A = this chain, B = another copy of it.
Amino acid sequence: MDDKILRTTRELIDEVGYPALTVDQIAARAGVGKAAIYRRYASKAEMAFAATMYEEQLPPLVGTGSLHGDLLALVRAFHVRMATPAARQLAPALISEIAVNPGLDKRFQDTFLAAEQSLFAEIIERAVARGELTRAVDPAMAHLLVLGCLASALYIVNLPVDDAMVTDLATAAAAGITALADRHHSDPDAAAEPR
With A89-B99, A95-B96, A176-B176 known as contacts, the answer to whether A144 contacts B157 (CB < 8 A) is yes
A80: Cβ under 8 A from any B Cβ: no
For the complex, what is the distance from the CA of A157 to the CA of B177, rounded to whole Å?
19
Q: How many copies altogether?
A: 2
Give Cα A114–Cα B168 distance, bound, in whole angstroms: 21
What is the chain B residue whose CB lies nearest that of A138?
A: B168
* Chain B hits for A31, CB < 8 A: none
Task: Say yes or no: is A62 at the interface (Cβ < 8 Å to chain B).
Answer: no
The tally of residues in A whose CB lies under 8 Å from a CB in B reads: 42
Question: Among A21-29, A50-58, A145-153, which stretch is in contact with chain B?
Answer: A145-153
Which among A19, A175, A177 has the highest number of chain B CB atoms within 10 Å? A175
Contact B156 A148 (CB under 8 A): yes
A95-110 at interface with B (beta carbon < 8 Å) = 95-100, 105, 109
**Residue numbers in B under 8 Å from A113 (CB-CB):** 157
In the complex, the chain B residue whose C-beta lies closest to that of A90 is: B99
> How far apart are the CA atoms of A109 and B171 in the complex, in Å?
26
The reply to whether B168 and A172 contact each other, CB–CB distance below 8 Å, is no
Q: Which residue of B lies closest to A102 (CB)?
A: B158
Q: Which of A76-104 contact B (CB under 8 A)?
A: 88-89, 92-93, 95-100
Chain A contact residues, CB within 8 Å of chain B: 19, 88-89, 92-93, 95-100, 105, 109, 113, 140-141, 144-145, 147-149, 151-153, 155-159, 165, 168, 171-180, 183
Q: What are 7 pairs between A and B in contact, CB < 8 Å? A: A89-B99, A92-B98, A140-B157, A144-B149, A144-B152, A151-B156, A172-B177
